[in-house]
């Protein structure tokens, strides 16, 4: 939220990056959680690396999303985690970001 509210001009703070960055890294974490039968200390860096690689390859880098695989694996979350909090949470954060930046701070957002 620091990027979105403090530095809305950053390419990492754009809606596409925020939404799809969180989605991609969470999906990477879920994939590793359910399909890679290795110890936790190996799965965590695999999931984070896969999530970061996905964001870079898809041009949807959002640095805070890099932590999602850790939360997914440490919390042993279900597939419902994608709907709530990932999708619903990012939509709410983006709505507040647009309202704050456009209506209150009078900044052009999204770029």
- pLDDT for 30-70, tens place per residue? 999 999 999 999 999 999 999 999 999 999 999 999 999 99
Q: Looking up tokens 């999204």, which residue turns up?
A: 110
**pLDDT digits over 10-34, tens only?**
999 999 999 999 999 999 999 999 9
Residue 62 and residue 22 in contact, taking contact as beta carbons nearer than 8 Å: yes
76 within domain boundaries: yes
**Residue 87, in any domain of the structure:** yes
- Residue 111, domain member (yes or no): no
Examine residue 43 and state whether it is found in any structural domain, yes or no: yes
Percent of the chain with pLDDT over 90: 95
pLDDT, the chain, mean:
96
Given a contact cutoff of 8 angstroms between Cβ atoms, the answer to whether 111 and 17 are in contact is: no
CA–CA separation, 65 and 61 (whole Å) = 8
Q: How far apart are CA 32 and CA 43, in angstroms?
A: 7
CA proximity to 73, closest of 39, 32, 35, 20: 32
* Structural domain for 100, as ranges: 10-104
CB of 57 within 8 A of CB of 101? no
Domain count along the chain: 1
């Amino acid at each position: 939220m620091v990027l979105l509210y403090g530095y809305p001009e950053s390419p990492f703070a754009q809606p596409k990056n925020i939404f799809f960055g969180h989605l991609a890294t969470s999906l990477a974490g879920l994939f590793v959680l359910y399909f890679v039968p290795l110890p936790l200390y190996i799965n965590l860096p695999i999931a984070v690396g896969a999530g970061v690689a996905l964001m870079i390859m898809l041009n949807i880098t959002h640095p805070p999303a890099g932590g999602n695989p850790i939360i997914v694996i440490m919390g042993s979350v279900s597939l419902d985690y994608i709907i709530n909090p990932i999708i619903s949470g990012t939509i709410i954060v983006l709505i507040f970001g647009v309202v704050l930046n456009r209506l209150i701070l009078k900044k052009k957002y999204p770029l």
